[in-house]
């Protein structure tokens, strides 16, 4: 048994952290357990839900998140499920009770998914706090109960009056006294009362009837009550009402009528048949209450329970119900259905830059544009944050869904004017189709989400249809992420160094530190594969610290060994730059620990990175230069910085991107670009480094333009520290 447990744990370490690339940005809580109920992953939203930190829950039995008696029975429940294979917890959304760290119990909406790998079973749960919804439902139920009780009591009271009226009508000897009593009740009642003869012609109404309906007595006496019909009910409705009166002598129900001014209103009506001594119908007595206010309360509660309060779009609950309904309809009529997941591009930047009030106004405008792109039969919903969904019913061809998606992208790329600002956003859309991409709601949602994620990875501002190979890619990313996390914990990364050579002076003047990952089982993993994932998941921060620390230690060792002041360049990620003061403190600690002089460290940033928040970036970079470090702009020419911004940044060096150097001197366009960059740098008193130099022709071309510092395979590829040291010795000989 111990061996099986070890195998399971090893399997999870190799392949878990399921969907953590998406988990940590998910609005809902996500928990991943193994077949024993042990928690393997616990995202930030789950931390907020339960009050536990991930490290407090990971490795513990998931039953710690449950109140009694669910906690005691959970392990047996899992064992029975594993043994029988009965899919009673997987693929459905159900309501459960959670238990926070402080013991507080609260309602949750739980969706459980199962996946298997290498003989092991894992479960992922998506948890959505439905406390507010349950409160709304309770309030709605209480309102309904109170209304029903009020109507019941009043109806009982007035039925009693009716019975007494009938008795008085049948007893001629006491007719006068009873009529006086009935008249008082009749006129003073708060509910409207209408009396007709056996032919349903009105013979009397009370003051409440006049007040509620607006009809004068002269307008209604002698006429049939149908003159107040609203037109909302068909013949079958009135037939059922009269059938009930004939069978039981009484009918009650909600009905819509029209006031004298034309206004349509709802009322709760009770009709009672009055019979004489010969058991013949002599009269009909109708008693009703205006329930307009109660209906408005009910509609408001319904709105809160099913619609997003900001955009007035269907919320997650209504979206799920409509998707299930539309799937049933599509299956019954053999129609196709398309589901779109829409995620706004650059929305976080708008929120962070202009504030949440502007962000909310932008979301309202986005919802209007989305509604304008679909038919009335389709559904546009907001799941939360900047995530929207669209259900397209009766999609004849795949091209129709593509046309709608393309129109949405076009509409959302147009400027949005909010609070005096012209905002430019966009959208990435994932599309899944029924039935080919899934026959149930859960599968379609998962596949649309995967396709949307692929659209974002593909450059944003595009749409992608789900393809089965995306599942394989997602599984690969999940596996890679788990291995990357373990690599960070085990410090499996090494640093290679590529020399920067001053071709005029004929010596090495510095080197760029480049991270390399050599997996113990799979060998070298391409930086192009793991660096973007590290950026996305935030693991680039600990990796960056490891690289920075090792590079500074090594540069100090070479300085002490007599190789001269070789400046080491370390790349800065966008995540590190966003840390602000924390990153500066990290730099100070590393320099103090390694003893490397600050002037021997160069920080490389990219154009796209520093343009995300210009004012903040300038302040941060100025702080680094005040510490004595040098700053280089990497990949220059591939971004969108302007000369006005370039002058504001405290940059020492421009690095010409290898894409411009590669085809020189043969390509006249690249020759013109490289020449312009070198000339501009000279006028701004900036040093220039040419990257990607591989041939002697390129070297001569750059030398003739006055570019002295060269980096590229012409001199050396990136090397591990020992071989780089050998290179330094040979170069200096």
Using one digit for the tens of pLDDT, what is the confidence trace for 401-445? 889 999 999 999 898 988 888 888 889 999 999 998 888 999 999
Identify whether 405 is part of a domain.
Answer: yes
Task: Identify the bridge partners of residue 433 per DSSP, sorted by sequence position.
Answer: 338
Q: How many C-beta atoms surround the C-beta of residue 235 within 10 A?
A: 7
Identify whether 76 is part of a domain.
Answer: yes
pLDDT given at position 270: 92
pLDDT given at position 1: 39
* Same structural domain, 542 and 656: yes
The strands making up 379-384's β-sheet, listed across from edge to edge, are 379-384, 387-392, 337-345, 426-434, 463-465
List the domain range (segments joined by +) for residue 687.
491-732
pTM: 0.46
* Same structural domain, 103 and 193: no
Query: CB under 8 Å to 255, separation ≥6 — which residues?
Result: 233, 266, 267, 269, 288
Query: CB under 8 Å to 440, separation ≥6 — which residues?
Result: 91, 327
- β-strands 630-636, 601-606 pairing: parallel
* Same structural domain, 56 and 93: yes
* Same structural domain, 188 and 205: yes
**Single residue among 103, 129, 155 that ends a domain in this structure:** 129
CA distance 28 to 464: 24
Contact 99, 67 (CB under 8 A): yes
pLDDT given at position 472: 62
* Same structural domain, 544 and 471: no
CA distance 438 to 447: 8
The CATH number of the domain holding residue 717 is 3.20.20.450
**How many residues in the chain?**
733
H-helix segments, 561-683:
574-577, 581-594, 607-610, 614-626, 643-648, 658-661, 668-683
Contact 308, 358 (CB under 8 A): no
Identify whether 482 is part of a domain.
Answer: no
Comparing CA positions, the residue from 658, 676, 597, 583 lying closest to residue 630 is 597
DSSP 8-state symbol, 171:
-
* Same structural domain, 614 and 675: yes
CA distance 411 to 366: 9
How many domains does the chain divide into?
4
Contact 494, 522 (CB under 8 A): no
* Same structural domain, 667 and 699: yes
* Same structural domain, 116 and 208: no
Identify whether 485 is part of a domain.
Answer: no
CA distance 728 to 507: 9
CA distance 395 to 381: 18
Identify whether 483 is part of a domain.
Answer: no
* Same structural domain, 82 and 56: yes
Question: What's the average pLDDT block by block, 10 residues per block, for the chain (733 residues)?
Answer: 44 48 78 89 90 93 88 79 64 84 91 80 87 85 85 80 71 56 64 89 89 90 88 89 90 91 91 89 90 78 82 92 92 91 85 83 94 93 92 88 91 88 88 89 90 81 79 64 82 92 92 89 78 81 92 95 92 80 89 95 82 73 90 73 66 90 90 90 90 93 93 94 92 64
pLDDT given at position 568: 96
Six-digit token pair at 15?
């392949």
> Any idea of the CA torsion for 687, 691, 697, 702, to the nearest 10 degrees?
-10
Side-chain half-sphere exposure of 87, counting CA atoms within 13 A: 10
H-helix segments, 171-290:
175-188, 207-213, 217-220, 235-248
pLDDT given at position 89: 53
CA distance 169 to 284: 13
The CATH number of the domain holding residue 101 is 3.30.450.20
pLDDT given at position 634: 86
CA distance 114 to 35: 10
**Single residue among 273, 297, 321 that ends a domain in this structure:** 297
Identify whether 481 is part of a domain.
Answer: no
Place of tokens 């009766």: 394
* Same structural domain, 121 and 139: no
Read out DSSP for 550-586? HHHHHHHHHHHTT----EEEEE--HHHHTTTHHHHHH
Contact 341, 452 (CB under 8 A): yes
**SS3 per-residue string spanning 480-494:** HHHHHHHHHHHCCEE
Task: Identify the bridge partners of residue 518 per DSSP, sorted by sequence position.
Answer: 524
pLDDT given at position 384: 86
CA distance 428 to 344: 6
CA distance 503 to 698: 12
pLDDT tens, residue by residue, 296-310: 777 777 777 789 889
* Same structural domain, 540 and 627: yes
CA distance 451 to 457: 10
* Same structural domain, 471 and 495: no
Identify whether 287 is part of a domain.
Answer: yes
The CATH number of the domain holding residue 411 is 3.30.70.270
**Single residue among 420, 442, 476 that ends a domain in this structure:** 476
Place of tokens 């997003």: 308
Six-digit token pair at 205?
């109404």
Contact 272, 284 (CB under 8 A): yes
Comparing CA positions, the residue from 401, 411, 454, 409 lying closest to residue 430 is 454
Read out DSSP for 18-82? TTHHHHTT-SSEEEEEETT-BEEEE-HHHHHHHS--HHHHTTSBGGGGS-TTHHHHHHHHHHHHH
pLDDT given at position 423: 85
Identify whether 97 is part of a domain.
Answer: yes
């Amino acid at each position: 048994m111990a061996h099986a447990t070890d195998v399971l744990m090893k399997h999870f370490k190799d392949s878990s952290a399921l969907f953590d690339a998406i988990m940590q940005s998910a609005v809902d809580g996500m928990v991943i357990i193994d077949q024993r109920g042990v928690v393997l992953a616990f995202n930030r939203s789950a931390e907020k839900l339960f009050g536990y930190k991930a490290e407090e829950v990971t490795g513990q039995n998931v039953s710690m998140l449950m109140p009694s008696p669910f906690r005691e029975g959970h392990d047996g429940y899992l064992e029975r499920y594993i043994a029988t294979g009965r899919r009673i917890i997987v693929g459905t959304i159900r309501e459960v009770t959670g238990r926070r760290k402080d013991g507080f119990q609260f309602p949750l909406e739980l969706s459980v998914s199962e996946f298997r790998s290498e003989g092991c079973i894992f479960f992922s749960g998506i948890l959505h706090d439905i406390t507010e919804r349950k409160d709304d439902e309770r309030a709605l139920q209480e309102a309904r109960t109170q209304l029903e009780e009020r109507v019941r009591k009043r109806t009982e009271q007035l039925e009693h009056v009716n019975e007494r009226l009938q008795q008085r009508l049948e007893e001629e000897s006491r007719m006068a006294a009873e009529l006086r009593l009935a008249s008082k009740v009749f006129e003073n009642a708060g509910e409207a009362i209408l009396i007709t003869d056996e032919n349903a012609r009105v013979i009397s109404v009370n003051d409440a009837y006049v007040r509620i309906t607006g009809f004068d007595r002269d307008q209604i006496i002698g006429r049939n009550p149908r003159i107040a019909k609203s037109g909302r009910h068909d013949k079958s409705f009135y037939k059922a009402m009269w059938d009930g009166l004939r069978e039981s002598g009484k009918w009650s129900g909600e009905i819509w009528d029209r006031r004298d001014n034309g206004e349509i209103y709802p009322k709760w009506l009770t009709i009672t048949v009055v019979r004489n001594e010969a058991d013949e119908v002599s009269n009909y007595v109708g008693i009703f209450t205006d329930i307009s206010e109660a209906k408005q309360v009910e509609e408001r509660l319904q709105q809160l329970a099913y619609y997003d309060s900001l955009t007035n779009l269907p919320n997650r609950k209504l979206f799920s119900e409509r998707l299930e309904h539309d799937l049933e309809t599509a299956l019954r009529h053999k129609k196709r259905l398309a589901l779109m997941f829409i995620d706004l591009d650059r929305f976080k930047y708008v929120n962070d830059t202009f504030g949440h009030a502007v962000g909310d106004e932008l979301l309202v405008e986005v919802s209007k544009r989305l509604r304008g792109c679909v038919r009335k039969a389709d559904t546009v919903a907001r799941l939360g944050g900047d995530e929207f969904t669209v259900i397209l019913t009766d999609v004849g061809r795949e091209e129709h869904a593509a046309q709608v998606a393309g129109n949405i992208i076009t509409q959302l790329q147009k400027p949005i004017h909010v609070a005096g600002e012209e905002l430019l956003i966009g959208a990435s859309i994932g599309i899944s189709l029924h039935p080919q991409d899934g026959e149930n709601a859960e599968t379609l949602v998962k596949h649309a989400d995967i396709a949307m994620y692929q659209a974002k990875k593909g450059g944003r501002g595009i749409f992608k249809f789900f393809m089965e190979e995306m599942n394989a890619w997602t599984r690969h990313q999940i596996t890679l992420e788990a291995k990357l996390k373990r690599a960070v914990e085990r410090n499996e990364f090494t640093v290679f160094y590529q020399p920067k050579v001053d071709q005029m002076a004929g010596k090495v003047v510095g080197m760029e530190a480049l991270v390399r990952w050599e997996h113990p089982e799979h060998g070298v993993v391409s930086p192009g594969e793991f660096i973007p994932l590290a950026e996305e998941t935030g693991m680039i921060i600990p990796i960056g610290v490891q690289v920075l620390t090792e590079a500074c230690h090594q540069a100090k060792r070479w300085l002490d060994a007599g190789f001269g002041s070789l400046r080491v360049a370390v790349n800065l990620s966008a995540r590190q730059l966003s840390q602000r003061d924390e990153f500066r403190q990290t730099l100070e600690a590393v320099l103090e620990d390694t003893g490397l002089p600050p002037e021997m460290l160069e920080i490389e940033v990219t154009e796209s990175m520093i343009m995300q928040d210009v004012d903040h970036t300038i302040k941060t970079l100025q702080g680094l230069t005040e510490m004595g470090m040098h700053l280089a702009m990497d990949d220059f020419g591939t971004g969108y910085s302007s000369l006005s911004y370039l002058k504001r940044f405290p940059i020492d060096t421009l690095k010409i991107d290898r894409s411009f150097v590669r085809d020189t001197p043969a390509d006249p366009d690249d020759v013109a670009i490289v020449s312009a960059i070198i000339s501009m740098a000279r006028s701004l008193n900036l040093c220039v480094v040419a990257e990607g130099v591989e041939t002697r022709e390129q070297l001569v071309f750059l030398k003739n333009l006055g570019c002295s510092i060269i980096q590229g395979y012409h001199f050396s590829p990136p090397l591990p520290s020992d071989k780089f040291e050998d290179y330094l010795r040979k170069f200096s000989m």
